[in-house]
Amino acid sequence: MSSLELQENFDTRPKKVLLSRYLIALLHFGGVPAEFFLGLLSIALAETECSRYDIHAALKFAVNNEGIDNDRMIARMIWSGMPLDEPYLLYRLGILMGEEIKGLQARKIPISDSYYLMGTADPTGKLCANQVCIILDKGQVSGDVLVYKHLGLHPRDIHLLKATFVEGLEKIVGDSKFVIFFPIVGPRSLADEMGNSDFDGDTYWVSRHPELLKNFNPSPPWLPPEENLLKKGVQNMDITDMNSNELEGKLFHSFLNNRFQPSYTVGLAAELWLVYMDRLLTPGVEKGEVWSKIEKLINIYYNALDAPKSENQVDVGNDLKVVKYPHFLEKKVKYNSSSIFGMIYDKVQSFKAEKLQLSQARFWRQTKTLPPALSA
């Protein structure tokens, strides 16, 4: 691949970085305290509220949420000098705030000093095991970093690696930015250690946040069950023995199966994993049996991801299914969660209720009447 091709692929500025519910669970399990996530949530809620009253905060809020405000109308209106109480601008900001609160309630919390970077192999071959090369907007960076591939479900999918300067890399990749290079040495690639990932365009979460580096305790890399490795090797051998017509027919057959007979095992395994992680992260709960079920779900999840290629049937056993779900998942049959997930959900719900009361009080002051919802 030429430097021009690399630059075209890797010169896109990453979007706002969010901590997903899966990443929060793995980081918290690895030693990051609940107070850290609740602190990030408090900052996000405060910035959301300030965007209604402060022009600079509103502009920053709009720019950070360009994915929702696709036409950048909010930012353009603010730049043109419109006051924040202009009706249409207020309406658009309200939509943006509503989507932001929905994301926070789903445990998607913004975090600084973190990036989504496209990963590829080191073209120089100079990186050693547990070393990576990271290029951001101002060039290569050095120091410890946490690296993770969504949606990994095992605590060992988060790696503590050393960002290292590679001399002469710019001659190969040119002015490319926002990319992470992995070493090509060792018995197993670092990407494969992160939930069977690879270098075909996958994006990796990379963090240099000092609090995460201080508190997170990494675990040894996850290893798939031995029988899965054997099946994987056999499948690869079958594919290499096919001619072009046989391979084309096999790929088309796989497409038809995945298109018209989709499997819901991946989603179900991930949801049940979240339920059991909620129990695991709740103080006072017996960990042994819960962790055993989590490990089973992790293996089922990764097998289900590979099922379209291996054509194996993967299902979640009845012994792993649950009747009650934690209240933050908003199912009909639920229990009250006191884990970090429950605390985040309750804090956002409290924020929403408080803002609703303030809006109703403001409406009453302006009109001297009660809102319709309260007048009955």
pLDDT above 70: residue 41: yes
pLDDT above 50: residue 234: no
Kindly state whether residues 99 and 187 are assigned to the same domain: no
Tokens of 281: 């992260």
- Model confidence at 352, pLDDT cuts 50, 70, 90, reads confident
Determine what percent of the chain is predicted with pLDDT higher than 90: 32
Kindly state whether residues 31 and 100 are assigned to the same domain: yes
Kindly state whether residues 238 and 317 are assigned to the same domain: yes
Q: For residue 370, is it within any domain?
A: no
Q: For residue 37, is it within any domain?
A: yes
pLDDT above 80: residue 246: no
pLDDT of 155-204, one tens digit each? 888 999 999 999 988 888 888 889 999 998 877 788 888 877 777 778 89
Query: Which string of b and e fits 305-323 if b means at least 16 CB within 10 Å?
Result: bbbeebeeebebeeebeee
Kindly state whether residues 199 and 243 are assigned to the same domain: no
pLDDT above 50: residue 288: yes
Tell which of 215, 238, 261 closes a domain: 215
Kindly state whether residues 147 and 9 are assigned to the same domain: yes
Q: For residue 372, is it within any domain?
A: no
Q: For residue 325, is it within any domain?
A: yes
Question: What pLDDT is stored for residue 78 in this prediction?
Answer: 87
Kindly state whether residues 97 and 46 are assigned to the same domain: yes
CB atoms under 10 Å from CB of 298, counted, come to 22
Kindly state whether residues 42 and 116 are assigned to the same domain: no
Kindly state whether residues 58 and 130 are assigned to the same domain: no
Q: Which residue has the higher pLDDT, 241 or 275?
A: 275
How many structural domains compose the chain? 3
Kindly state whether residues 30 and 141 are assigned to the same domain: no
Tell which of 194, 215, 236 closes a domain: 215
Question: What pLDDT is stored for residue 95 in this prediction?
Answer: 82
Kindly state whether residues 281 and 320 are assigned to the same domain: yes
Q: For the domain that residue 152 is a member of, what is the CATH number? A: 2.40.40.20
Question: What pLDDT is stored for residue 168 in this prediction?
Answer: 87
- Model confidence at 233, pLDDT cuts 50, 70, 90, reads very low
Lowest mean pLDDT among 100-109, 119-128, 276-285: 100-109
Residues spanned by the domain of 186: 3-17+112-215
Q: For residue 368, is it within any domain?
A: no
Kindly state whether residues 7 and 120 are assigned to the same domain: yes
Q: For residue 341, is it within any domain?
A: no
Kindly state whether residues 211 and 116 are assigned to the same domain: yes
